[in-house]
Homo-oligomer: A and B are copies of this chain.
């Protein structure tokens, strides 16, 4: 086929044309899984990718139930429950599944993980370019005082393209020169919500601000990086995005020795050196390999893979306590969903079902399971780094003819 005429649509003829054009190169297999759902998920749909999924567990955790309080959108914990969960991991990294399972085992020996959702927010970072800094400051002050009016405006719009599920919670401004950056902060229910809040933010920008502002901005820009849309930022490392989740567990010294084959002392030293290494290298996160865990769960459960980087922002700690070693992780920006987007597709929905996280009312549960699974891998991967330290070990192996 002449590439210049590459068909873009998802009608049957176009799909077939694309498949015919590439079948000789890619073979039948990736073109064989027809499902009407695929064509609703993307334009120019042509085939599928398959990634192997391991199932590891049990992940033992005590997790919270939460509800949003109106109108501020703060979270209230309504209960806590103990559970054992099996976790699906889509990845091709040898050792990852076994390592996470080891971490789960070590945690379970100490009573399991305890997880908490501290906050829920989804944010669009718009920007109004004004004539002067003075105008930008006036606009900012007006915006910060208009939260009720902005909510009323949205409530009054009878526009089916807008989302009623996306609720405006806060307006935060930041003025630099003639720019008035605005963070529109929403909750989006069990959906991840980028599209719904984008449409609503656009309505606010064009339908309210550009019409009613006390100074007329020269430009309205829908997204201008004051937040962290698929790019890690300090703004969201600190103030959070999606679900801000914390997980912790206290590891008993005997478990550290027997299951993790290292010691509390070793892990404390590793944490110390790793934290200072992160500082020295200008690494925002302080952690070991949270992205490996998060990517594997995201890949299995239909999450947005483009949000793996931001969702993997992590701040881990380790502290010697009376009963052993308290370890924790804070994931400030876990952008997850249990409804909408990729979660509605085959495979993804199945794996969410395995977690008991498919559909409405499940997103805080899901976020906490992801955090606990991430901490499980952190524990085990750290232990592997910490114990890779014995020169006797190396010499013994080397003299036997090779590292194995």
Contact = CB atoms under 8 A, between A and B. Distances in A.
A199 interface: yes
20 contacts: A8-B56, A26-B354, A41-B92, A42-B89, A46-B54, A48-B53, A49-B50, A118-B175, A127-B273, A159-B401, A177-B316, A178-B326, A199-B403, A203-B398, A203-B403, A206-B389, A207-B394, A223-B274, A234-B238, A235-B283
A288 B50 contact: no
Looking at chain A's contact residues, the main secondary structure is: mixed
Residue of A38, A42, A390 ringed by the most chain B CB atoms within 10 A: A42
Interface string A321-333: 1000011101000
A79 interface: no
A309 B161 CA distance: 31
A400 to B, nearest CB: 10
Contact of A47 (B48, B53, B288): B53
Contact of A299 (B49, B237, B394): B49
Interface stretch (A224-232, A253-261, A361-369): A224-232
Interface in A349-390: 350-351, 353-354, 384-386, 388-390
Interface string A235-265: 1111000000011101000000000000000
B54 A33 contact: no
Given A30-B350, A179-B273, A277-B125, A283 B342 contact: no
B90 A49 contact: yes
Given A281-B234, A296-B305, A394-B202, A177 B86 contact: no
Contact of A179 (B175, B294, B317, B385): B317
A50 B26 contact: no
